[in-house]
């Protein structure tokens, strides 16, 4: 039996300027094969440059979260994420679920497929269609579509159906709900967190337990939704020869009855430190192998890896998969560092690399988790004219097999 499980993996590195994120009151997904509400929804994020914006009733002005492996495409309105503000966790408790069945493809989607348009354009057309029906900002449309596996009917149901607070997102009774409705991550991975931002997160994301890899300089962190994820133990594994304060942060958790080991790291940066980066990768893979087989292991982070470096290390072990490769290398989310599309660094040369990666090792016992889809986000500039980060983000959906 398969449930349509949502395990969202967000990766973003947070630089000096940051804005905390709010988890949205997102809908429960319906199992496409069993029509059973999903009991789990996990979002891993490695946060990069989050620029402060003033939250308001307008989604366009809401805080934007990006630059890490989580869902988004190479073009079109990006997805946003912002920190929880005392709202109950909707998933598995009070979320919204579509009422079964699927509507016919909208005209925009049909046209895109008939003409052989790429996936990115098909999704842009869906965003336009959704925004037209819901009379909302295209960025909001994209958030709800991505949240609901790009199924128009399900996304519209999630937008218009009542929330836990009793009013619909598109209800004429009041302004649109803020971005906390868009995502409700159970787990968030962060890199390049600095102490002021960590303090801000502790205040704004009070519904999360935050475990950090350091307390000074800049460091990694893993955020666990208190109502959904139970922390069992934590461990910081040093990289003995790092020159950049890098390490491996591991937390062992229980989520909806499943044992997981969650790992994140920011591997050594720049081409000149390839040898150290490969040594760090070997240590990460070794630690993933050492986790008891009863647990699912997920590593999500900014690896700074070039493909040839993975090859030089002998590739991944047979029981560890690269989620992007496992999902047949979807082109729309291949590059998380793209200086042609992203102008934040002002680099004149064109560089397209897959720095941000998700490694996955399934549990040996029944009830394991299987990756289902992958997407990018953070592709829209903020009001200041800059992208949320110099990296795009990734969102990974997974199924739980019972």
Rounded to whole angstroms, the Cα distance separating 51 from 378 reads: 12
Q: Are 68 and 393 in contact (CB under 8 A)?
A: yes
Catalytic residue among 4, 186, 302, 356: 302
CA 156 from chain center: how many Å?
21
Does 302 qualify as catalytic in the annotation?
Answer: yes
Among positive and negative, which fits the CA dihedral 295, 297, 298, 299? positive
Q: Are 233 and 252 in contact (CB under 8 A)?
A: yes
307 — alpha (psi -120 to 50), left (phi > 0) or beta?
A: alpha
CA 331 from chain center: how many Å?
17
Rounded to whole angstroms, the Cα distance separating 229 from 323 reads: 22
Active site residues: 302
């Amino acid at each position: 039996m398969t449930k349509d499980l949502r395990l969202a993996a967000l990766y973003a590195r947070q630089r000096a300027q940051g804005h905390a994120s709010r988890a949205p009151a997102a809908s429960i997904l319906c199992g496409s094969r069993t029509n059973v509400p999903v009991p789990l929804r996990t979002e891993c994020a490695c946060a990069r440059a989050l620029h402060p914006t003033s939250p308001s009733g307008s989604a366009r002005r809401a805080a934007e979260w990006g630059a890490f492996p989580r869902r988004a495409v190479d073009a079109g309105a990006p997805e946003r994420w912002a920190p929880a503000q005392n709202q109950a966790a909707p998933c598995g408790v009070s979320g919204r679920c579509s009422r079964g069945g699927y509507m016919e493809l909208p005209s925009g989607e049909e046209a895109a497929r008939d003409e052989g348009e790429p996936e990115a354009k098909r999704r842009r057309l869906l965003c336009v269609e959704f925004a037209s029906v819901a009379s909302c900002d295209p960025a909001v449309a994209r958030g709800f579509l991505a949240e609901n596996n790009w199924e128009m009917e399900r996304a519209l149901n999630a937008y218009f159906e009542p929330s836990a607070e009793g009013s619909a997102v598109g209800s004429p009774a009041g302004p649109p709900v803020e971005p906390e409705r868009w995502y409700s991550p159970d787990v968030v991975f962060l890199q390049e967190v600095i102490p002021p931002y960590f303090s801000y997160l502790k205040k704004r994301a009070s519904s999360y337990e935050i475990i950090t890899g350091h307390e000074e300089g800049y460091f990694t962190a893993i955020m666990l939704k208190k109502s959904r994820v139970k922390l069992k133990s934590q461990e910081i594994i040093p990289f003995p020869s790092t020159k950049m304060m890098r390490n491996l942060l591991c937390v062992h958790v229980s989520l909806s009855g499943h044992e997981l080991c969650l790992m994140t790291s920011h591997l050594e940066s720049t081409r000149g430190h390839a040898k150290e980066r490969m040594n760090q990768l070997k240590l990460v893979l070794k630690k993933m192998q050492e986790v008891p087989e009863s647990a699912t292991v997920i590593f999500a982070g900014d690896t700074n890896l070039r493909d040839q470096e993975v090859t030089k290390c002998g590739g991944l072990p047979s029981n560890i998969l690269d989620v992007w490769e496992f999902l047949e290398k979807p082109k729309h989310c291949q590059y998380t560092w793209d200086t042609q599309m992203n102008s934040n660094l002002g680099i004149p040369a064109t560089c397209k690399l897959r720095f941000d990666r998700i490694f996955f090792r399934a549990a040996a016992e029944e009830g394991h988790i299987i990756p289902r889809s992958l997407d990018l986000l953070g592709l829209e500039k903020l009001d200041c004219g800059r992208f949320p980060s110099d990296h795009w983000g990734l969102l990974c959906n997974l199924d739980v097999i019972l």
